[in-house]
Amino acid sequence: MIGAVKVISGTAHPELAQDICTCLGVDICRSTVVRFSNENMLVQIDENVREADVFVIQPSCPPVSDGIIELLMTIDALKHASAGRITAVVPYFPYARSDKKDRPRISITARLMADLLQTSGADRILTMNLHSPQVQGFFRIPADQLQAAPILCDYLRETRDLTNHVLVAGDVGESKDVGHYADRLDLPIAIVDKRRHGDDEVARAVNLIGDVKGKIALIVDDEVASGGTLVEAARFVLERGALAVEACVVHPVLSGRAIERIEASPIRQLVVTDTIPLREEAKRCKRIRQLSIAGLLAETMLRISNEDSVSSLFME
Amino acid sequence: MIGAVKVISGTAHPELAQDICTCLGVDICRSTVVRFSNENMLVQIDENVREADVFVIQPSCPPVSDGIIELLMTIDALKHASAGRITAVVPYFPYARSDKKDRPRISITARLMADLLQTSGADRILTMNLHSPQVQGFFRIPADQLQAAPILCDYLRETRDLTNHVLVAGDVGESKDVGHYADRLDLPIAIVDKRRHGDDEVARAVNLIGDVKGKIALIVDDEVASGGTLVEAARFVLERGALAVEACVVHPVLSGRAIERIEASPIRQLVVTDTIPLREEAKRCKRIRQLSIAGLLAETMLRISNEDSVSSLFME
Amino acid sequence: MIGAVKVISGTAHPELAQDICTCLGVDICRSTVVRFSNENMLVQIDENVREADVFVIQPSCPPVSDGIIELLMTIDALKHASAGRITAVVPYFPYARSDKKDRPRISITARLMADLLQTSGADRILTMNLHSPQVQGFFRIPADQLQAAPILCDYLRETRDLTNHVLVAGDVGESKDVGHYADRLDLPIAIVDKRRHGDDEVARAVNLIGDVKGKIALIVDDEVASGGTLVEAARFVLERGALAVEACVVHPVLSGRAIERIEASPIRQLVVTDTIPLREEAKRCKRIRQLSIAGLLAETMLRISNEDSVSSLFME
Amino acid sequence: MIGAVKVISGTAHPELAQDICTCLGVDICRSTVVRFSNENMLVQIDENVREADVFVIQPSCPPVSDGIIELLMTIDALKHASAGRITAVVPYFPYARSDKKDRPRISITARLMADLLQTSGADRILTMNLHSPQVQGFFRIPADQLQAAPILCDYLRETRDLTNHVLVAGDVGESKDVGHYADRLDLPIAIVDKRRHGDDEVARAVNLIGDVKGKIALIVDDEVASGGTLVEAARFVLERGALAVEACVVHPVLSGRAIERIEASPIRQLVVTDTIPLREEAKRCKRIRQLSIAGLLAETMLRISNEDSVSSLFME
Amino acid sequence: MIGAVKVISGTAHPELAQDICTCLGVDICRSTVVRFSNENMLVQIDENVREADVFVIQPSCPPVSDGIIELLMTIDALKHASAGRITAVVPYFPYARSDKKDRPRISITARLMADLLQTSGADRILTMNLHSPQVQGFFRIPADQLQAAPILCDYLRETRDLTNHVLVAGDVGESKDVGHYADRLDLPIAIVDKRRHGDDEVARAVNLIGDVKGKIALIVDDEVASGGTLVEAARFVLERGALAVEACVVHPVLSGRAIERIEASPIRQLVVTDTIPLREEAKRCKRIRQLSIAGLLAETMLRISNEDSVSSLFME
Amino acid sequence: MIGAVKVISGTAHPELAQDICTCLGVDICRSTVVRFSNENMLVQIDENVREADVFVIQPSCPPVSDGIIELLMTIDALKHASAGRITAVVPYFPYARSDKKDRPRISITARLMADLLQTSGADRILTMNLHSPQVQGFFRIPADQLQAAPILCDYLRETRDLTNHVLVAGDVGESKDVGHYADRLDLPIAIVDKRRHGDDEVARAVNLIGDVKGKIALIVDDEVASGGTLVEAARFVLERGALAVEACVVHPVLSGRAIERIEASPIRQLVVTDTIPLREEAKRCKRIRQLSIAGLLAETMLRISNEDSVSSLFME
């Protein structure tokens, strides 16, 4: 039997940590992160955690490398402080898309991240919507992966009439997710077919597999980074006769000029979750609707701590 | 610098091992596998292998569990016999499709297999066409993954006029491979959309995303086991107006009543490789055309041994 | 403190698992093993096991390799399902006789099996009558080894007058066990002396060390596989003047033509335990008397779970 | 025997890598580091490195966390690309001063860094002037630590008359280094005695142990970060009667307002090495004299590669 | 939650173990150490320890190597006896001064000792006054390090007027400890400056940094072995004008002719602790005053067992 | 390919190391072992060993614990000095008889020793006549075990007429070895049957299994420690009618009063090897004849270094 639950918030997403603690009815465990002028950090846990059941909340978001190092240092500090069990709660997993060796002599960095977390002393991982479900196999420690689809689908059903919608995947190679939504929402599917031509390295949308004519296209993806792929797909389906375009994405990375691009695009709404904090610019963007996964994480953490089944509720 | 190359053939696929050795111009390293009446095996290496660069050829094929245990025992025997480097050559990786946790409380067995191989003493893995490219990340030892697509595409181009062909993937969730063929052969894509309804656990083809009318459908997949999915897809595309159906699959598992099913199906040719040996029944089946990957493996092994680049040739 | 006891039965010996659960007054934890047409298995645990004290019952018996892989997959599934402690209950340990390197370049497979179990996630092992007591040293995880001798000796004393018996070991190199019985039953010992001559690889009984004349020979061994050694020893002691022959063996492997051989032999009774299930043929054989070790295993599991001493009861 | 030497430069200090390669007469091995808009990096090695003896040059300097993650990814990529031996050349080791647990519940991050490097696949470490020599014990892989003292002392002797100098350590707890210089230069020592009073957390110089009156004080330290400690010590020895102040420091971190502070201080020269690149501002600062350790590193790498003794030359 | 506390005494320091148990109000857990004529030992735990929270008391003292092997065997026996958590209580850590590679091709034996303890199965370490605080970073398991300074300083303040005392460190390189005492006792510091000349390997005191004239010198160090360094420093400060000399040392190794040397020295009192037992000769020496750290260890063990903060009390 | 052979002699058996080097025609690699007054040791390798093929000769002999710690330190020093491959040559393995858990809560110390050697950095083990062949399975690194039987049997055949000899094992549980001699020398076997009665813990010889009347008894064993068992067996076979008694033992531990006992016994010759050095007293004992295994070890080391088969020569 593990000790009392302690929730530590890294510096990545204190709002999410606070929301989770509110759901759980506990205070955030006090800890300090100092960053010196030489950029080195000092992480200190300010409460006794001996044998406690500690959850560290730290999704991957800018500054990305600092966030990873801080997380590893926090886990290391907890281990040497004799924490009973350390669960890294990483709703958006760092380098999740770096999950295969699609070029010679590169690192499968998602696997490296899994190894670094284990080396630093993590006993468990709790994450959400990994880019590939196979990434769960990168861990030798127990890893729970939650799905945001139920929350997103509930929202979609409650807020609109879906009878004329079609789900769209932006790439043949990344069309697995769209299947989950299709099953849940009972909607047809279309897929953008991108090809590489000649020495041109960049893949371009050349065909649309399936049909969007006269329908509202709902593009689904696991993450939106620079927004380029998403906006290109939106324009492509409109050219192919879609009436309107909406998008539903779990992890709102929204880096670089993403907000600017989305504002200038035909996407009329982008539904995301709060696995990552939104930048101020994104919070102000009216097309973006953010749904909270804090309750889902809180319920899961409670079940982990109480030794109840996690799958029975969330993995249907 | 590693010592001389030694090639050991497990009992799974001696023909492939012999073909590789012929390409390499070496003899198979002598070894013995005895199976006692109590089903226990004894694996003995019959030549000195101290510091040698040993490759063990053992794809996963029936009897599957015996093949795995035999491979682990062989590697263990080689390690304790002071082999210099041990490469498990596993063209068809065991449990490659068990690569994610899509039900609660199951084993991601492909990862377990990777760990068992490392525990037994494997220094490297050489495999072909993993079901998901992410499986490469299950290894902490260097793992080279070869692709049969160049061999298969060359054959297709040489043996038929492809101008009226369309590539077909049998499932939205498994459509990544079809993209590789599409890029190489410059062909359009169609995807069978399978859904689960009500309490019925089995997914059924309900839509076809994309168009096959008046075209020759070429179904591509990484493996064919019982043949059920393949034959269902074949019938489905014919119903949707395809002129004819062909299939191209890397790993010919062809278990259970697969041959019978294929003979009774509208598939006019099934192109496969020899990563797995064909059963007698399959060898006699005129619709099956088997292409050899022995030369590809031999060339790769030579490059590994000579410390040449593998990616420069095969991974384009 | 570990959580509640859960007993999982692999497919190897469900009767033993049920008998143990009856002794413990618990239900078997629900789990499913599916075997697909391609021989791959799917192991799923059908109940929540978070932090539970799980015992997996799986002795090594045909199909041997399938049983090993299934056990490793079950343990892996349990680990990733967050089981609190996983004890592999393997009354007959796989490859227990492959415990030394008595030929060049072979695997000490019992050690390999120990490593594979640890890699898959086993926290403890519970086994019985290892061929050599040294095999316990192959484990870095706690390993409890029980002895069936008390159960067997009690039965022998209760069912016959032992005053004219002599204990017989079938080989000089394997005579350690006979000493334990000799101490318990206070009986004399004789040992069959087997030698290898010339290039003949097979050892043959050539001498009898000690005396069996006019006595009832009771051959003892840890396992009987094909029955060849046992029957040869039986005939040999009769030739040397024994009045009758009986045998007492812990693990009834009884593979190949063992039953046929025993029926045709002068052995009037063969006492065994149920560490391995008897084949139908063996169950019908009237010369075989099977004693249950379910109560012993159940009592031990209870003590492990209650943190009581195991040695105080069973290892005398 | 390891293969040919390959030198890879991370993005931290390309000048040093180039200087080393010039000494060695080799070209830098081509590699690419891409940083995407979401701050994720892609590291790719652009040449075949199978079985090569690879050295990765990457001292710790801003952006510190990015540099660490990049180094780990590079090593991981090299391992999976089958490099023969990977030596991380880290002249200034990250978090080298985080080498003890001087507060409750913190991470000994230098140890964590050592573990992360080993997890990612480093076979060896080559570093310089660790803050504590004990940090070498944080590695289980061979770690060579070079000393810059010979280079620094040679320069000091060649450029000035040292007969009226006194060496000064800025803190009692950090006075080990000053002893090495004292032995080499045959100079007396003085030590600033800093104390903490009341609840005031910051230690202040309160005494000077030893004598600096009428002498030129030469403050020595392993690193200068914000410059605060160094400048405080300089002022303190002047107050205690020193004629002038100079400083000699191995690692020129010079973070935050360090250059500004030094320009405003009484330190007339600060001698440093190029284990870390100087910022533009620092390069322009006339009081700073930078000595190169490229030749020392190149000679050491050559000896490692040639299997010659490293200690015989450099560790005197 | 870990089980009940069990305290096992190795043969190194049974008095300390008994004193700790008296503080805790528990009996020593029965165990036996037999030493055979061939010098091999047998360690047996004579009580059930399943899931117990076991502390093994074994500081490093002569016979040193026997003590280390006995400790490793005890931990190994406990692990295989299913102890719940094993804490090695090693107040004086073996080879603590062998913490750096100050000569070529030597072992950093303190690190090796840390690894051996972890290999044998230790889950935690509890030690006191490591020679360097960095040694704590040699452990990957939680390691608590206690400081004897509070006990020693309390004693010094209670037994003498310290207004005319000066603290003395015997070597520039080992002056870190003296700072801790200086802060606590608010006393000035002087440091003996030892140098090596020519080929003479032995360092000799040549200067005194700071001032001792007319003061009572209180030499502080972490351990006293042969006494040579301590007595040399005592004579040196007297020559430099000290009125009298006292010494305060945590670990009283007092090997070889140490007692004889101290009796013949000007040191009027040597205050030590009982981390190591005193030899009879040392117990009789009136100049030695031994203070007990049993209460400190007992309180810490209680806090570890009760999951209370250790740092809050002892590490101020 | 591993580098040049370097042979390091620990302090345990310099004569054996010298004899091996003479056979190999190489000089012993210079190294130093210093033992300080506090019993701590310092091991330093005095030659460059980078990438060399290093063999460390250190059988287990008094002082046993010092010898083990010295061996671990030497291996650790070699690893950090970048030795290419480290083979621990341990002709008599420490704690080889502590190979099973024959009492509750003890350590299987031979396994612990194997783990400690691996932790310290040994890459290979070379040993002779392990008490049980299963101990070879305690290693995960390659372990070669040589047999002295060929040398001993050759000597016996050359020095006496064996036609009237009988081989005697001193215990039923330890009679495996006698079988090897019996096969080689074609001699009959007799075994002393020892039993424990009542609460009397000590086993006593009560029966002789087999016949020695009128024959010369040749007692064989793997080691002789205090000599008690050997001398008891000698007296017992004489009582049972043996004409004379001789003994043949591989490892001459000869601890305590062993020589005295043997001088007073009826054993007319004790043939041993030099896996362990003889004490002066034993060297003077005329009944002891010591045969050298230096040539056997040298030949094996040469074969290991040259990557030739070891088994082909020695393991027949």
Q: What is the pLDDT of residues A104-141, one digit of tens each?
A: 999 999 999 999 999 999 999 999 999 999 999 999 99
Q: Taking each helix axis from N to C terminus, what angle separates F109-120 and F64-80, rounded to the nearest 10 degrees?
A: 30
Where is A290: in which H helix or E strand? strand A288-291
Q: Please choose, from the candidates D67, D66, D77, D68, the residue with its C-alpha nearest in 3D space to the C-alpha of residue D30.
A: D77
8 A C-beta contact, residue B89 and residue B56: yes
State the average pLDDT over residues A200-209.
Answer: 82
pLDDT at position A7 over 90? yes
**pLDDT grade for A198, boundaries at 50, 70 and 90:** low
pLDDT at position C10 over 90? yes
Q: In what order do the strands lie in the sheet with A5-9?
A: A5-9, A53-57, A85-90, A124-128, A143-146
Are A82 and E304 within 8 A, CB to CB? yes
Phi and psi of E239, rounded to 5°? -55, -35
Put simply, the chain A residues between 117 and 156 with a CB less than 8 A from any chain D CB are 119-120
Q: Please choose, from the candidates E41, E53, E48, E47, the residue with its C-alpha nearest in 3D space to the C-alpha of residue E302.
A: E53
Q: Residue B89, SS3? A: strand
CA angle B33, B35, B38 (to 5 degrees): 155
Peptide bond into D62 cis (omega under 30): no
Q: What letter does residue C308 receive in the DSSP assignment?
A: -
Residues for chain F: how many in total? 316
Phi-psi group of D199: left, alpha or beta (phi > 0 → left; psi -120 to 50 → alpha; rest → beta): alpha
The pTM for the full model equals: 0.96
Enumerate the β-bridge partners of residue B33.
Answer: B43
Are B112 and C104 within 8 A, CB to CB? no
Instruction: Find, in chain E, the residue whose alpha carbon is nearest to that of F66.
Output: E65
Enumerate the β-bridge partners of residue D50.
Answer: D83
pLDDT tens per residue, range A26-50: 999 999 999 998 899 999 999 999 9
Tokens 């910051």: give the residue: D202
pLDDT at position D128 over 80? yes
What sign does the dihedral B80-B81-B87-B90 (CA atoms) show? negative
Where is B185: in which H helix or E strand? helix B176-185
Asked if residue E211 and residue E194 are part of one domain, the reply reads: yes
- The mean pLDDT of chain E is 94
**pLDDT grade for D316, boundaries at 50, 70 and 90:** very low
Asked if residue C240 and residue C199 are part of one domain, the reply reads: yes
pLDDT tens per residue, range B42-78: 999 999 999 999 999 999 999 999 999 999 999 999 9
Are C3 and A2 within 8 A, CB to CB? no
pLDDT at position D294 over 70? yes
Asked if residue D31 and residue D128 are part of one domain, the reply reads: yes
Asked if residue A222 and residue A142 are part of one domain, the reply reads: no
How far D76 CA lies from chain A's nearest CA (Å)? 6
Task: Point out the residue among B69, B103, B255 whose CB comes nearest to the CB of C65.
Answer: B69
Q: Residue E69, SS3? A: helix
Asked if residue D10 and residue D120 are part of one domain, the reply reads: yes
Distance from C-alpha of B59 to C-alpha of B64, rounded to nearest angstrom: 9
8 A C-beta contact, residue F224 and residue F230: yes
Are F106 and E62 within 8 A, CB to CB? no
Determine contact: D104 vs chain A, CB below 8 A: yes
Are F50 and D308 within 8 A, CB to CB? yes
Task: Point out the residue among E1, E51, E79 whose CB comes nearest to the CB of C307.
Answer: E51
Task: Point out the residue among B104, B140, B196 whose CB comes nearest to the CB of A315.
Answer: B104
Asked if residue F96 and residue F136 are part of one domain, the reply reads: yes
How confident is the model at residue F142, as a pLDDT? 95
pLDDT at position A316 over 50? no
How confident is the model at residue B175, as a pLDDT? 75
pLDDT at position B316 over 60? no
Where is D5: in which H helix or E strand? strand D5-9
Residues of A in contact with B169 (CB under 8 A): 172
**pLDDT grade for C204, boundaries at 50, 70 and 90:** confident
Distance from C-alpha of B52 to C-alpha of E220, rounded to nearest angstrom: 59
Q: What letter does residue D174 receive in the DSSP assignment?
A: G
Task: Point out the residue among C105, C132, C183 whose CB comes nearest to the CB of F134.
Answer: C132
Are B176 and A179 within 8 A, CB to CB? no
Query: Any residues with CB less than 8 A from the CB of D35 and at least 6 apart, and which?
Result: D41, D66
Side-chain-side CA neighbours of B160 within 13 Å: the count stands at 14
Please give the sequence-ordered ranges of beta strands (E in DSSP) within chain F, or none if there are none: 5-9, 31-35, 41-45, 53-57, 85-90, 124-128, 143-146, 165-169, 189-195, 204-209, 216-224, 244-252, 267-273, 288-291
Asked if residue E185 and residue E135 are part of one domain, the reply reads: no
How confident is the model at residue D314, as a pLDDT? 55
pLDDT at position D3 over 90? no
User: In chain B, what percentage of residues exceed pLDDT 70?
Assistant: 97
Two tokens, residue E229: 């360094």
Asked if residue E306 and residue E238 are part of one domain, the reply reads: no
Distance from C-alpha of F259 to C-alpha of F270, rounded to nearest angstrom: 11
How confident is the model at residue C1, as a pLDDT? 62
Exposure string (b/e) for D291-310, b if CB count within 10 Å is 16 or more? ebbbebbbbbbbbbbebebb
Distance from C-alpha of E92 to C-alpha of E125, rounded to nearest angstrom: 11
Asked if residue D127 and residue D230 are part of one domain, the reply reads: no
CATH assignment at residue D183? 3.40.50.2020
Query: Any residues with CB less than 8 A from the CB of B264 and at least 6 apart, and which?
Result: B231
How far E305 CA lies from chain C's nearest CA (Å)? 13
pLDDT tens per residue, range B175-224: 778 888 998 999 999 999 988 766 556 788 889 999 999 999 999 999 99
How far C130 CA lies from chain A's nearest CA (Å)? 30
CA distances from residue C7 to A156, C20, C31, E51, E103 in whole angstroms, order as listed: 44, 9, 10, 20, 57
Q: Taking each helix axis from N to C terminus, what angle separates B149-159 and B176-185, rounded to the nearest 10 degrees?
A: 50
Residue of E103, E112, E259 best to disrupt the F interface, most CBs of F under 10 A: E112
Residues of E in contact with F104 (CB under 8 A): 44, 81
Determine contact: B78 vs chain C, CB below 8 A: yes
Determine contact: B79 vs chain F, CB below 8 A: yes
pLDDT at position A91 over 80? yes
Out of F6, F100, F101, F194, which one is annotated catalytic?
A: F194
Distance from C-alpha of C82 to C-alpha of C54, rounded to nearest angstrom: 11
Query: Any residues with CB less than 8 A from the CB of E136 and at least 6 apart, and which?
Result: D100, D101, D108, E130, E143, E145
**pLDDT grade for E198, boundaries at 50, 70 and 90:** low
Enumerate the β-bridge partners of residue F165.
Answer: F216
CA distances from residue D136 to D55, D124, F116 in whole angstroms, order as listed: 19, 12, 21
pLDDT at position C200 over 80? no
Are A308 and C50 within 8 A, CB to CB? yes
Residues of B in contact with F143 (CB under 8 A): 80
Asked if residue A238 and residue A168 are part of one domain, the reply reads: yes
Q: Taking each helix axis from N to C terminus, what angle separates F14-24 and F294-306, rounded to the nearest 10 degrees?
A: 60
Tokens 């690192």: give the residue: A107
Two tokens, residue E18: 């008994």
**Reported ipTM:** 0.95
How confident is the model at residue D201, as a pLDDT? 65
8 A C-beta contact, residue A107 and residue B104: no
CA angle C228, C233, C237 (to 5 degrees): 155
pLDDT tens per residue, range F88-132: 999 999 999 999 998 999 999 999 999 999 999 999 999 999 999
Asked if residue E79 and residue E170 are part of one domain, the reply reads: no
Q: What range does the domain containing F43 cover?
A: 5-147+294-314
State the average pLDDT over residues A91-116.
Answer: 96
Put simply, the chain D residues between 203 and 232 with a CB less than 8 A from any chain A CB are 225-226
pLDDT at position E196 over 80? no
pLDDT at position F316 over 80? no
Give long-range contacts, CB 8 A cutoff, 24+ apart: C291-295.
C291/C148, C291/C151, C291/C152, C291/C155, C292/C19, C293/C91, C293/C128, C293/C146, C293/C148, C293/C151, C294/C16, C294/C19, C294/C20, C294/C22, C294/C23, C295/C23
Two tokens, residue C23: 């002794």
Rg for chain D, CA atoms, rounded? 20
pLDDT at position A315 over 90? no
Are D48 and B309 within 8 A, CB to CB? yes
Residue of C167, C209, C220 best to disrupt the F interface, most CBs of F under 10 A: C209
Work out how many domains chain B is built from and give that number. Answer: 2
Residues of D in contact with E138 (CB under 8 A): 111, 137-138
Asked if residue B241 and residue B199 are part of one domain, the reply reads: yes
Side-chain-side CA neighbours of F106 within 13 Å: the count stands at 21
Enumerate the β-bridge partners of residue E288.
Answer: E270
Determine contact: C308 vs chain F, CB below 8 A: no
